[in-house]
Structure 1
Amino acid sequence: MPSFKFDPEKDIADLSGKVIFITGGLGVESVVKLAQKHPRAIYFSGRNPKSAEEVIEKVKSIPDAPRVHFVQCDLASLQSVSAAAESFLGQSDRLDVLMCNAGIMTKVPDLTTDGYEIQFGTNHLGHALLIKKLIPLLIQTSEQPNTDVRIVILTSLGFIFAPRGGIKFKDLKTVQKFAVLGPFTRYGQSKLANILYARELARRYPQIKTLSIHPGVVATSIISGTTMVNKLIIYGSSWWQMVKPEEGAYNQLWAAGGDVSNAVNGQMYEPVGVRSNKLGKTAKDDKLAEQLWDWTENELQNY
């Protein structure tokens, strides 16, 4: 298990006046921890309103709890993502932190509602649309005095499973079976996209601190929902990195609310706040990052 020196009670700054938007997954743990630092409001998205009620009740127990709003959103549906973004924009006049945490892993071959490979469509394209819709407000917020605007994108060292060349753009509208290790190849491709997209966001919007974050291997529903064979591969290959869900949120909590003054914009960080030295040529390929950006913009042009 990694040695965590990060203490969210001490190391997350006061968030008074800030507005935070968090997508699901490890975002649930983040909502509670960030709420303790008194932001103006936290918006968090997901597919299950009943689960959201539990999070809201947890936050209500915090003294001087901030306003917490659930925004229903299915990242596998671009229409749902667009509606979620519009709902948020209708409620808030600022956005200080956007945390893109939700995701799926090692799923059987499938497509999103819009016909994209399910893992790429959910982990990258859904979040890309959310960012596209919210970036004007992030920029507007960054132009105000004494602001520190951030985008945090959850990725994974599993990006190493991406196919040769990184991203198979030509068949992203197929299930991309990729033979025996297909679920891991598709997952790796989507996580590589997260890393590259963060690099490109940082290049295009230097006024916003954008970081991609590896949380460690966390025992959450993203793993528990996969097959036994896949679980054995995941746990067997990374048992030394296993962390509890509350610890799994530490790295993104650092990125969202900690001191990132020395963090390099657009880079990937491992727990906690350690710049990754595991990025190979493909994950640092700025031409591929730009190609991903152009492909993404083209696919989202109607939104």
Structure 2
Amino acid sequence: MTPAFGAHSTTDEVLAGVDLTGRRVLVTGVSAGLGVETARALVAHGAQVVGAARDLAKAKTATEPARAGAALGGSLELVELDLASLASVRACAKGLMADGRAFDMVICNAGVMATPFGRTTDGFETQFGTNHLGHFVLANRIASRMAPGARLVCLSSAGHRFSDVDLDDPNFERTPYAEFVAYGRSKTANVLFAVEFDRRHRPRGVRATAVHPGGIHTELGRHMSPEVIRQMTDAAQASQAAGQFVWKTIPQGVATSVWAAAVAPADRVGGQYCEDCHVAERQTETGARGGVQPYALDPDRARALWAKSEAMVGETF
């Protein structure tokens, strides 16, 4: 029976007694925050981790503790990946495919949040292009290297409740730009991508899930002013059913990622949205802290987003 974990569980608690020797894992965004902790925890339990980052020098420094804590044959290597450039994404995927070794887990952890309006190298709105389209191309291009039984974990957020995807205007060409609406669209896209990837690859034993790590102070909030952070904390506090809202630590924030990737039963998490180390319930109540909006799990919406994403990146998967 799978142990019960919750909002305060840490990576080390979730992975206690778990031997990942020989398991190969790709983790994006290993230069700071959740990505660094994800790599550290997996390497400490014997996994062979490939860490992807835009700034390799920063990532090398940030992941030194992970290499120092390697156990059971665990290891960490770094590869360059700029999710805001499809050329970089494709080059990274080409290198991973040429390597020939299979992956048992792919954790799409990297992302940006509440950025000022901007565009990626390829002209996509920054948050949608980085958080969704970059990972969409990467995961699909290496999908054949995901071994039977492998899992894809897409980091989403409670921010998906800010907005559904807009398939008619994904780049804010006609819609007034709002930082958190754009973030919400990208995080909903992360869930819908996991839903459709799971449907497509489930017959060969590869599953996908989306996770919300929780409220955590990391570099992800670099574009948010202290006043905006305070307002978000107050809003979370107001919607908390009982007790006081408390920010999670980074190890607590990573717990759901490693739980979904390596601990939870595949049939339990496949095609689902998880938070606090459990599968979230569908929630339509305005202002609710927990749960997932039904539109983020809509299979028809997921298929439509997949088709739109293929058209935007110019590739069919």
- Runs of at least 5 residues in structure 1 that lack an aligned partner in the other structure: 143-147
The whole-number CA distance in structure 1 between the counterparts of 2:54 and 2:115 is 17
TM value normalised by structure 1: 0.88
- What residue identity is the alignment partner of 1:47? R
Q: What is aligned with 1:22?
A: 27
Aligned to 1:57: 64
Instruction: Give the conservation status (yes or no) of the 8 Å contact 1:6–1:272.
Output: no
Aligned pair partner of 1:191 in 187, 190, 211: 187
Q: 1:176 to 1:107 in 2, by over 3 A?
A: farther
| Aligned counterpart, 1:160 | 161
Partner AA of 1:256 in structure 2 = A
Quote the Cα distance in structure 1 between the aligned partners of 2:125 and 2:7: 36
Aligned to 2:277: 272
* 2:127 is equivalent to residue 119 of structure 1: yes
Q: By how many angstroms is 1:10 displaced?
A: 5.8
SS of the residue aligned with 1:217?
A: coil
Deviations 1:62-117 (A, max 9, x none): 24552311111111111111111112222241111000001111111111110011
Supply the distance in 1 between the matched residues of 2:20 and 2:72 (Cα, whole angstroms). 13
Partner of 2:296: 283
Q: 2:174, 2:121 → 1: CA distance?
A: 16
Pick one of 213, 216, 219 that aligns with 2:217.
219
Q: Which residue of 2 aligns with 1:247?
A: 252
Aligned partner letter, 1:293 = W
The structure 1 segments of at least 4 consecutive aligned residues displaced by more than 6 Å after TM superposition are none
Paired residue secondary structure (1:263): helix
The answer to whether 1:150 aligns with 2:151 is yes
> Match for residue 145 of structure 1?
none
Which residue number corresponds to residue 301 of structure 1?
314
1:45 to 32, 47, 52: 52
Greater mean alpha carbon deviation, residues 271-280 or residues 218-227 = 271-280
Measure how far apart 1:261 and its partner are.
4.4
Report the equivalent of 2:229: 231
Does the C-alpha gap of structure 1 residues 175 and 235 become closer, same or farther in structure 2, counting only changes over 3 Å?
farther
Task: Name the amino acid aligned to 1:233.
Answer: Q
**Distance change >3 Å, CA 135–CA 241, structure 1 → 2:** farther
Deviation at 1:292? 0.2
CA distance in structure 1 between the aligned counterparts of 2:210 and 2:171, rounded to whole angstroms: 25
Change (3 A) 1:282 1:52: same
4-13 or 207-216: which moved more? Answer: 4-13
Residues 29/68 of structure 1: CA separation in 2 closer, same or farther (3 Å cut)? same
Indicate the RMSD between aligned Cα atoms, in angstroms: 2.1
Name stretches of at least 5 consecutive residues in structure 2 with no aligned partner: 1-5, 238-244, 283-290
Counterparts of 2:274 and 2:199, CA distance in 1: 17
1:216 and 1:241 in contact (8 A); partners too? no
Write the letter of the residue equivalent to 1:87. Answer: G
- Distance in structure 1 (CA, Å) of the matches to 2:302 and 2:192: 5
Q: Which residue of 1 aligns with 2:196?
A: 200
Distance 1:15 1:269, change over 3 A: same
Distance (Å, rounded) in 1 between the aligned partners of 2:131 and 2:79: 18
TM-score by length of 2: 0.84
- Equivalent residue of 2:292, what SS? coil
The partner residue of 2:145 within 129, 137, 142 is 137
Q: Comparing 240-249 with 105-114, which one deviates more in the overlay?
A: 240-249
